[in-house]
Amino acid sequence: MFFKERGKMTSYKMIVESVRSIDGYAGMAIYNGAEEIFIEGMPPELVLGMMRLYGDIPGVMKGTLNKMSAYIKGYSIHVSCVDGLLILVRVSGMDNDIPGIAPCEADFIDPEPLPALPSREKAAMEAEELLKKLKMI
């Protein structure tokens, strides 16, 4: 398994692993625009033909159509667009449908910045004020 883009490797691996578990799985390809990210068990001419066909359908690039299926030479070919990725899945048989592929969560979440720590002097003053309030000094 080879991914050409490392930044989203976790997301790609999650997609590949979920698709590979489908009954009758026979191959898949993932593209980011025209850039091939992953391909397995799919002839290049089939991938290019399906990409051209999918790209010619109105509404695909606007996100109003999210899945297309075709039956070619004993395989069901499912094409969908998820998170800007074009995903092609080949499954043996005519009636095999695949579940929708959910958009992936980000690989990481930017943490909120930590509040600045007070200086020793300021911390000592705050502690002294607190103790005065509690009448301990």
Q: Is the pLDDT of residue 4 over 50?
A: no
Q: Which fold is adopted by the domain 1-97?
A: Beta-Lactamase (3.30.450)
Q: Is the pLDDT of residue 57 over 50?
A: yes
DSSP assigned state of 137: -
Strand partners, 31: 36, 86
Q: Cα–Cα distances in Å, from 3 out to 10, 40, 70, 109?
A: 10, 11, 26, 22
CA 87 to the chain's CA centroid: 11
Tokens encoding 62 = 């606007």
Query: pTM of whole model > 0.75?
Result: no
pLDDT at 114: 61
Whole-number Å distance between alpha carbons of 110 and 87: 28
Tokens encoding 117 = 């720590």
Q: Is the pLDDT of residue 33 over 70?
A: yes
What is the mean predicted confidence (pLDDT) over 74-84? 81
Q: Is the pLDDT of residue 85 over 70?
A: yes
Domain residue limits, the chain: 1-97
Residue with tokens 């004020």: 129
Whole-number Å distance between alpha carbons of 123 and 131: 12
Whole-number Å distance between alpha carbons of 125 and 132: 11
Q: Is the pLDDT of residue 54 over 70?
A: yes
Q: Mean pLDDT lowest for which of 7-21, 79-93, 107-121?
A: 107-121
